[in-house]
Structure 1
Amino acid sequence: MSRRLDVLKAIKQMIAVALPNADVIGLDNDDAIPTRPTPGGRVIVRSGDPGEPEVDLCPLTYNFEHEIPLELTGWDAGNKTSEEVLDEMMVPIGDAIEQDRTLGGLCIWMEARSPLTDDVFLEGATPADRADLVIVATYATTNPLT
């Protein structure tokens, strides 16, 4: 497997562990977006854009800053507002990144950018809040396709 795909799968797994009550979706063809909201929220991990690598010539190394978008959705759950659920989702993701910035050695460095939040309005649906955030994974390979 390529480093790009290894990093994406590891990020999805990291989020699934950090948010055990949320639906974490992405990368696998069998991951269908659930139609009913989960009280723990939903996270969609997108493939993102590895961008153009910086190239070191000796030894030949391709250095990527891969921007991986996450779409988080939180619904009203019992006595918590959707904004509170969303916040309770972002904090563990941030903590997981801080605990292992190298993603088990797959990355040189990993960090999250500040999220953009917004309300989601769907007629007849439970009120929801949404956050778009980006995880930037910096990693190096000897081949831009692996």
Structure 2
Amino acid sequence: MGSKAEQILQALTALLQAISGPTVLRNAALPTRIPPDGVIILRDGDPGEPEQSLGGVGGCYYQHSVEIEIIIQHGDADQRQSLFDDLLLAVAGELDADSTLGGLIYGMTYGRPAIQLEHEEGAAPLLGGVIELTLDYETASPIS
């Protein structure tokens, strides 16, 4: 079954895998070849320090920061931008459709990513961005 954090990260991975087209990876290095439909990489991030209720009664509350990296590679600038925006909207649509990950979390917050364009000589440019996502949840103890 795994810890609550692992259950949440698995549910988030499954949610991203529901998007048609891109390759979805978790904690992976950037592939040497980007598939035509792009890549989404979930980075587990940092759960931070737990907050406990006064007197130590009750669970531990987390605001777990994770990152969703989106990468598109295409030679045509307009196509690249359009594909990136479509993928960004698809990710937001999935996150908004299940903002509690099936009841595993209280909710999530995120914003639009900063966009980066990278170009290697001899290859089509990469357009990417990282969505910083904060997941709010409770566990029975700091380790569970």
TM-score by length of 2: 0.88
Query: In the alignment, which residue of structure 1 is the partner of 2:47?
Result: 50
> How much has 1:53 moved relative to structure 2?
1.7
Query: In the alignment, which residue of structure 1 is the partner of 2:59?
Result: 61
Alpha-carbon distance in 2 for matches of 1:3, 1:127: 38
> How much has 1:39 moved relative to structure 2?
1.3
Identity of aligned residues (%): 26
> How much has 1:114 moved relative to structure 2?
2.2
Gaps of 5+ in 1: none
Give the secondary structure class of the aligned counterpart of 1:91: helix
Cα gap change, 1:77/1:7 in structure 2, threshold over 3 Å: closer, same or farther? farther
Are the aligned partners of 1:113 and 1:136 in contact in 2 as well (CA < 8 Å)?
Answer: no
1:36 and 2:33 correspond = yes
Give the secondary structure class of the aligned counterpart of 2:132: strand
Give the number of aligned pairs.
142
Query: In the alignment, which residue of structure 2 is the partner of 1:6?
Result: 7
Alpha-carbon distance in 2 for matches of 1:34, 1:90: 19
**Letter aligned with residue 21 of structure 2:** N
RMSD: 2.0
Gaps of 5+ in 2: none
Alpha-carbon distance in 1 for matches of 2:133, 2:74: 25
Query: In the alignment, which residue of structure 2 is the partner of 1:99?
Result: 97
Cα deviation 1:49-106 (Å, max 9, x = unaligned):
1111221146421110111011110122789522211111111111111111110011
**Letter aligned with residue 39 of structure 2:** R
